[in-house]
Chain A
Amino acid sequence: MDFAASLALIVPEIVLSVSGLVLLLVAAWAGDGSARLISAVSCLVLAACFALVAPAVCAGASGPDTVAFAGQFRADAFAGFAKLMIYAATGAALVVAPGFFGRTGSMRAEYPVLVLFSALGMSVMVSAGDLIALYIGLELQSLAAYVLAAFLRHDTRSAEAGLKYFVLGALASGILLFGMSLTYGFTGTTTFDGIRAALGGGLSTGALFGLVFMLAGLAFKISAVPFHMWTPDVYEGAPTPVTLFFASAPKVAAVALTTRVAIEAFGSQADAWRQVVIFAALASIVVGALGAIGQANIKRFLAYSSINNVGFILIGLACATAAGVSAMLVYLAIYVAMTVGSFVAVLMLKDADGEPIDEIAQMAGLSRTRPALAWCLMALMFSLAGIPPLFGFWGKFVVFQAAVQADLIALAALGIAASVMAAYYYIKIVKIMFFDEPADTIRGKSDRAHWALLAISAVLMSPLGYLLTGWLDTLADRAAAALFLLA
């Protein structure tokens, strides 16, 4: 494949990086006054990238035509599907930001630029076909994210979140690098294709260690148990639009990356990593559910909820089948919509002065003081709990269906029984909003962008979302097929 064809495959990444650099210059010269303009342009850039990627996803692009730079980069339907979710979630993080930062005058021009670079890193991550490309993408995403976590630099909680995220993220990167070096040492190659070919005959102890360390490093990034400890602190401390971003786009990217590593590079040794994934899945579901029960802060609560959801996503990975990967993608898409909606709702919890509120106790009786917000939030909570007829059920449904088809019935039964534990804390939020006497502190007005995003998310999560299932499943099936074609 010649160089021009390779370049054609990475057009979205080129657009992202060039516009990121240009907007950085604009930010440098025009100052913070241009922040809203840069945000708007960034959204347009993301929309353009979305449009560039969409055709490949709809067509189910796969095969050698989608491989660029001699296997370094893959622009197949799987990567495309993940990119669509990433761009959409990133766009949401940009749209909600001005309303949050603008009130305190902390809407700085760097915010959209950093978010764009992070999106670029995620784009590279999900398309990586080589350990080096994987690492470059991961670090580009992470470095931008560390700065974003500490974006409110005069707020000690935000600074603490940034530092924690950085230290633990660096540790995770170190573990990942160690695993990569072991893998390279025992297989003699860094490309996923090469690793798969080298492992075809069997897994040596050294390569097994490499695999386990790589999975551990990636588990940090997707905040799966037992590498989840940073999540509640970072989610709580980071500014809420940034938390929205962390909980959605990077999670998609890290899950997609983990899937690609597991299926493409280590696909022939599925039995070796399956037990690790099963443990992480069940532990995430249980720890996420138990951890959330005692939380008083809604952002910490949603952090544990995201840990819990990652557990369900990993059940799809544990199947190591095309159906399992397709189920993961469907779950991820629904999860992104639910998460964006939940955090937008959190952003809309403000007191009379517009000061953000994140205490769960303050939400008491919300259904009487702010009925529209409370009903949307209730739909999201039941959806996260996976109660039909809300659309969140469909994500759990496809994941468990894949597990049953892969003959992992015990895993499915344990996972679904643990989901009842998770239901307890979601219905607790509903109880506080609907059954308790109003605290009546939430009175702030929200701008239209927030309402629009919340409405979109609530409509998607309503039973109307099921009308999308045919379309969503087809796209996810094609994307999963593309991944398995290469593997």
Chain B
Amino acid sequence: MDGVPLLSLMLLVPMLGAIACLFAGERAARAIALAATLIDFALGIILWLNYDIGGAQWQFTERAPIFAGFSWALGIDGIALMLIMLSVFLMPICILASRAIDQRVGEYMAAFLFMEALMLGVFAAQDLFLFYIFFEAGLIPMYLIIGVWGGKDRIYAAYKFFLYTLLGSVVMLIAMLWMVNEAGTTDIPTLMAYDFPAGAQTWLWLAFFASFAVKMPMWPVHTWLPDAHVQAPTAGSVILAGVLLKMGGYGFIRFSLPMFPEASAQLMWLVFALSMLAVVLTSLIALVQHDMKKLIAYSSVAHMAIVTVGLFAFNVQGLEGAMIVMLSHGLVSGALFLCVGVIYDRLHTREIDRYGGLSINMPKYALFFMLFTMASIGLPGTSGFVGEFLSLAGIYQVSSWVTAVCATGIILGAAYMLYLYWRIAFGVQKNADAAAMPDLSAREWLMLGPIAAAVLWMGVYPESFLAPMRADIAALDARVARAKPEGDARLALGEPAAAEADTHEGAH
């Protein structure tokens, strides 16, 4: 595979597909979009197979200085590889989930393919400004997807999404300009090893935080997310929850932590405080939702808070856990939105009370829905457990209180997810139209089946996903080690147990 610019190719395929879709008719556009995303998925598998675990930190690097001030530099490490795999895996499923879209199909598919190219660009960019361009450009297709094909209040949601995330990002641009001016390079790997002055780090960290916290989203700047999720079409929600939210976590792990370790340690309390609030508050809010999509959206905020505490735990378990939660949440929340989409396509309402007893007439659907519900709660055997356990184990080394508060998220998560499942799948069939809905079609099997397999795989054998990231996470851990905060556990050596045994023996 040497010499083939695989990453550029992965960006080019959806880009060309997008242009072709703009000029194609409805059926052709669907076919082109599915083909382009499947080709990209195949390229992604090739990428993973050729990724040399334990090899160079940055692989598949490409560099072409064709612009002034920055260059077309791509390359991935294990962390980026996993997120790229998540993106290319979810995209064909999104295209399949878009059967209900019946107007302006060409433009819709073009927007999705354009979005895919930009997401892959974000994870593959090795140049600071190239990253920014990809990161920011994603606003345009998402704005159109929400605004054109969204629900009733789509325009408000589209505006809110666009302006909220734009305001977060522009401050980051100024910080990036300062960093490049200071360090004299736009190369991300070089910048990751550059030691910025501690005083400046705080400001830079806050500027990056403004962007990633909105993208993540963290409480209290999460309010764009429920609106955007509820109004977006099903596939839009899947991409939003599955991949776009991961850009915030990726930003923390790629920029905030390695570039500003001192500031990260200094402002750790801010992240912890916001995350604890997010876990408890948004879980409670999720408990009282009547709208299925809104409930899952709020649960996303809670799960992302587990990611942020894991990231700022400054140890390997926390970082690995955060990555696995991100991957797992990408699959699980995507799948949950698909599950909502399946019944929404049949009844055209997201109101939870309009359903009930679906396990009677849609047993296969109920089974899938249950699996993803359990994965969202974090049941052992599913991907959710691995990630949340590792994250909480990591944070326990730093702060018992944060762990205690964040662990309630699992209990509350079980409460709102099981309550949701109960109201939809169990009980009597109180609505005749809901009771008459047919079970999963072959297309829906194709959408949910692969995700279910991936969720179980990640739950049973997470090593496949951890192995490529291990070296990179160890490198990151070593990089931030100098700023590592002291844990609050204060483990003290107790009386040796053997001595006690001796005294017992003496008494006899």
Task: List chain A positions with a Cβ less than 8 A from chain B.
Answer: 367-368, 375, 382, 387-389, 393, 397-398, 400-401, 404-405, 409, 412-413, 416-417, 419-420, 423-424, 427, 430-431, 434-435, 466-467, 469-470, 472-474
Contact = CB atoms under 8 A, between A and B. Distances in A.
Contacts of B139: 387
Nearest to B22: A375
A430 B139 CA distance: 13
A278 B358 CA distance: 64
A423 B67 contact: no
Contact of B66 (A375, A419, A434, A470): A470
Given A413-B171, A420-B167, A431-B147, A404 B159 contact: no
Nearest to B173: A416
Contacts of B107: 367
Name which of B66, B69, B118, B140 has the most chain A CB atoms within 10 A of its CB. Answer: B140
Contact of B158 (A375, A388, A435): A435
Interface string B127-144: 001001110110110011
Interface string B71-109: 000000000000000000000000000000000100100
7 contacts: A388-B136, A404-B174, A409-B174, A416-B173, A417-B167, A427-B162, A427-B163
A434 B177 contact: no
B170 interface: yes
Contact of B159 (A375, A427, A469): A427
A434 B154 CA distance: 12
A466 B174 CA distance: 20
A134 to B, nearest CB: 32
Contacts of A413: 171, 174
B163 A416 contact: no
Q: Which 6 A-B pairs have the closest CB atoms?
A: A473-B68, A388-B133, A469-B68, A404-B177, A416-B170, A389-B137
A237 to B, nearest CB: 31
Given A427-B143, A431-B155, A469-B67, 5 more contacts: A367-B104, A375-B22, A382-B140, A387-B136, A401-B177
A416 B69 contact: no
B415 interface: no
A266 to B, nearest CB: 27
Contact of A435 (B148, B170, B174): B148
Interface of B: 22, 66-69, 104, 107, 118, 129, 132-134, 136-137, 139-140, 143-144, 147-148, 154-155, 158-159, 162-163, 166-167, 170-171, 173-174, 177-178, 181
Contacts of B134: 388-389
Contacts of B154: 435
A430 B69 CA distance: 30
Given A393-B133, A431-B147, A435-B147, A472 B178 contact: no
A420 B166 contact: yes
Given A466-B67, A470-B66, A424 B163 contact: yes
A412 B66 contact: no
A323 to B, nearest CB: 10
Nearest to A379: B140
Nearest to B135: A388
B217 to A, nearest CB: 17
A423 B174 contact: no
Contacts of B133: 388-389, 393
B171 A416 contact: yes
Given A434-B148, A435-B155, A416 B174 contact: yes
A364 to B, nearest CB: 12
Contacts of A474: 68
Contact of A469 (B22, B69, B137): B69
Contact of B162 (A368, A397, A423): A423
Contacts of B129: 397
A472 B163 contact: no
B174 A434 contact: no
Nearest to A434: B148
Main secondary structure on A side of the interface with B = helix
A409 B178 contact: yes
Q: Classify the interface of chain B: helix, strand, loop or mixed.
A: helix
Contacts of B159: 424, 427, 431
B68 A472 contact: yes
A387 B139 CA distance: 8
Contacts of B173: 397, 400, 416
A427 B167 CA distance: 14
B140 A423 contact: no
Given A387-B137, A387-B140, A431 B158 contact: yes
A361 to B, nearest CB: 15
A424 B155 CA distance: 12
B314 to A, nearest CB: 29
Contacts of B68: 469-470, 472-474
A470 B68 CA distance: 4
Given A405-B181, A435-B155, A473-B69, A423 B147 contact: no
Nearest to B106: A371
A467 B69 contact: no
Contact of B163 (A388, A420, A469): A420
A160 to B, nearest CB: 35
A267 B284 CA distance: 62
A424 B160 CA distance: 10
Contacts of A434: 144, 147-148
Given A388-B132, A388-B137, A416-B171, A401 B69 contact: yes
A467 B181 CA distance: 23
A410 B148 CA distance: 37
Nearest to B164: A420
Contacts of B118: 389
Contacts of B148: 434-435
B143 A430 contact: yes
Nearest to B172: A416
B395 to A, nearest CB: 33
A459 to B, nearest CB: 13
Nearest to A467: B66
B166 A368 contact: no
Contacts of A417: 167, 170-171
A431 B181 CA distance: 37
B162 A412 contact: no
Contacts of A469: 67-69
A472 B163 CA distance: 30
A397 B70 CA distance: 11
Given A387-B139, A435-B148, A423 B178 contact: no
B160 to A, nearest CB: 11
Contacts of A401: 69, 177, 181
A356 B232 CA distance: 36
Contacts of A400: 173-174, 177
Contact of B177 (A389, A412, A467): A412
Contacts of B181: 401, 404-405
Nearest to A476: B68
A409 B69 CA distance: 19
A423 B133 CA distance: 16
Nearest to B147: A435
A434 B108 CA distance: 12
B291 to A, nearest CB: 22
Given A405-B181, A431-B155, A435-B148, A420 B67 contact: no
Nearest to A386: B170
Contacts of A398: 69
Contacts of A427: 143, 159, 162-163
Given A412-B177, A431-B147, A420 B170 contact: yes
Contacts of B163: 420, 423-424, 427
A417 B159 CA distance: 16
A389 B130 CA distance: 9
A281 to B, nearest CB: 15
Contacts of B158: 431, 435
A348 to B, nearest CB: 19
A424 B161 CA distance: 11
Contacts of B178: 404, 409
User: In this complex, which of B107, B118, B166, B171 has the most chain A Cβ atoms within 10 angstroms of its Cβ?
Assistant: B166
